[in-house]
Amino acid sequence: MTMTAAKAGTDPSPRDPLRMFIGGEWTEARSGRTFDSIDPYTGQAWAQVPEASAADVDRAVSAARAAFDEGPWPQMAGVERARIMRRLARLLEENADELAAIEVRDNGKLLREMAGQAALLPEFYDYFAGAADKIGGEVLDSAKTNFFVYQLFEPVGVVGAITAWNSPLMLVAYKLAPALAAGCCFVLKPSEHTSVSALRFAEIVAEAGVPDGVFNVVTGDGPSVGEPLVSHPGVDKVAFTGSVATGIRVAKAAAEHLAPVSLELGGKSPNVVFADADIEAAANGVVAGIFAACGQTCVAGSRLLAERPIHDELVERVVGRAQEIILGNPMDLATEMGPLAFAAQWDKVMGYIDVGNGEGAELATGGCRPERFGDGLFVEPTVFVRVDNSMRIAREEIFGPVLSVIPFDGEAEALSIANDSPFGLAAGVWTRDVQRVHRMVPRLQAGTVWINAYRTINYDVPFGGYKMSGHGRENGLEGLREYLHTKSVWVEMSGATRDPFKLG
């Protein structure tokens, strides 16, 4: 059974339900139930997705377990895994336009944004394919000269992955590409808001020749599918992208069977602009950091820290640009902001705007649903000034196009405000002073720091956070290590008999 309804040029119909991918087969949920995938721009159901349960999760984990314990993938030569991964990359290139269009229908982000992400996907699989045949070992220079000691790097086993709705297939690539290179098998639960692209992606994985059971997709919500997946004793590692609250629950559930967890969670990232910065470039970077993708990104630069001498001019530039942002159909390449991804997210963002007004922040622009879109899930690009870092809008992740502007005086205060957050995912620093850069970077509590830029990510650069932004790293060789066990091997060479009651 193929997905059929999501082929290029057609839209899945609510009367033609999709199927999950388990053990190389297309299958309905055991319950027979489905749920609608809603297009955020039209507000209409455009696909029906299987509503899985714990029984379906068990089927998927069992398929992955069998593929890992008995199948060829983990035993395959790295060069052969790499060959299959490169074939997958080429197929992703061929289907990039279709995948981008599916993701726009699912989450409402701009086609220009999702097309860029889809075009980048093959590079993730190519990069990690290049590492697949280089996972060797290392001889250790042990102080015990009668031993030959070495270490091996082996796949952790079955990975249970849960991904968020804002960049669906890119977040899958962060996890799946290194896991495949390492020789792991994989069970994916995509967000219930954006499951269609994961099911189409599963077709492409199968076409690439990835053996049955190595990659599986189960669809549904967190309580019915996510919780059984992360708590399943057959899952050897959990990889999660999402909110802090859910990440904590995931970590607790995985801890019940001591599965290691990598968590990529939220952020309240500071974009710090000093008085000597190129103010035009900084204003553009601030807009990119908070209004691109409607602010629905974990690295959103949602706190603008502006040094007082340029505060007013910078705010004027940012507000002016925010008022010019073109809202509309995300499929239109002229559109700069589309709708939020789903109704509950719209409610959350509007609720935080009410909070900001109630806390005494001043609304410089935005804060409303544009009248011309009726009941559509749009929010005007919003800027609050006169914000204190103790306010909720400065401390809690909004995940929408809402910017909080905080003034500061000098480096020490900038660092104090920037680090005064439960999060530590990213930060931006705008200055022409290279010495200041090298003073700031070591003291900023963030996993990624951009200098005179914002919101740039690539497959070869490790990504992850400090504090409540999670732990573990994705991308780069550090991302690969998340999917490998280290095994130490001692080979006695002298043949001598030793005292059995003394540590050797």
Active-site residue, from 192, 298, 307, 336: 298
Active-site residue, from 203, 227, 264, 336: 264
Residue 433 contacts residue 272 (beta carbons within 8 Å)? no
H/E segment holding residue 485: strand 484-492
Token digits of residue 392: 């909720």
Interaxial angle between packed helices 78-94 and 196-208, expressed in degrees from 0 to 180 and rounded to the nearest 10: 130
**% helix, strand, coil for the chain, step of 5:** 40, 20, 40
Q: Which residues contact 451 (CB under 8 A, 6 or more apart)?
A: 428, 429, 430, 431, 437, 441
Q: Which residues contact 186 (CB under 8 A, 6 or more apart)?
A: 64, 158, 159, 161, 175, 176, 179, 180, 214, 215, 216
Active site (annotated) includes residue 51: no
- Measured CA distances, 389 to 361, 393, 419 (Å): 11, 8, 10
**Beta strand 185-189 with 158-162: parallel, antiparallel or unpaired?**
parallel
Active site (annotated) includes residue 298: yes
- Chain-centre distance for alpha carbon 37: 20
Separation between Cα atoms, residue 143 and residue 502, nearest integer Å: 17
Pick from 274, 272, 302: nearest CA to 287: 302
Pick from 427, 435, 437, 465: nearest CA to 304: 427
Number of helices and strands in the chain (H, E): 15, 22
Residue 125 contacts residue 85 (beta carbons within 8 Å)? yes
Separation between Cα atoms, residue 316 and residue 433, nearest integer Å: 24
List the catalytic residues: 264, 298
